[in-house]
């Protein structure tokens, strides 16, 4: 069982990292989700796997010898929920970014860090990417 989980962990980490290295921003977001799934597997595996004994301590025994540790199962639930929220956020962000920037190529996303036009001086920032000055009067 642990080897099956290890193989699944390896496959999901490898494929996730492969996707993350893509220039396509949507694939990067998906890759992060896959890496997250792999890490959740690792967290689950940290509390022993494979036992079919329920996590209920019989009367007269101080602890269970063979059962899986229930704590990582609780932890992994927390991690899944947090990861799910972040995946939702990242998908919404990536869709908005592709719509507004008009490209899904990470190398062409230079709105925040414009490419220098000359070897020595940094580029001047595009006024469209700056806060509006003078600021409008606020109610």
Is residue 66 a contact partner of residue 53, using CB atoms and an 8 Å limit?
Answer: yes
- Of 80-119, which residues contact another protein (CB under 8 A)? 82, 85-86, 89-90, 93-94, 96-97, 100-101, 109-113
| DSSP, res 48 | -
CB of 41 to another protein, least distance (A): 9
- Cβ nearer to another protein, comparing 54 with 126: 126
Helices 25-45 and 70-101, interaxial angle, to 10°? Answer: 180
Q: Tell me the per-residue interface mask from 47 to 86 with another protein, x by CB under 8 A, - otherwise.
A: x---------------------x-xx--x--xx--x--xx
């Amino acid at each position: 069982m642990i080897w099956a989980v290890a193989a699944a962990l390896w496959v999901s980490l490898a494929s996730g990292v492969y996707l993350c290295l893509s220039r396509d921003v949507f694939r990067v977001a998906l890759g992060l989700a896959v890496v997250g799934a792999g890490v959740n597997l690792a967290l689950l595996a940290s509390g022993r796997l494979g036992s079919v004994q329920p996590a209920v301590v019989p009367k007269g025994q101080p602890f269970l010898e063979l059962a899986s540790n229930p704590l990582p199962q609780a932890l992994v639930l927390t991690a899944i929920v947090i990861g799910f929220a972040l995946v939702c956020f990242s998908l919404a962000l990536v869709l908005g970014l592709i719509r507004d920037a008009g490209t899904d190529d990470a190398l062409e996303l230079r709105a925040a860090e414009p490419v220098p036009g000359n070897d020595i001086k940094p580029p001047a920032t595009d006024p469209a990417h700056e806060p509006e000055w003078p600021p409008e009067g606020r109610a």
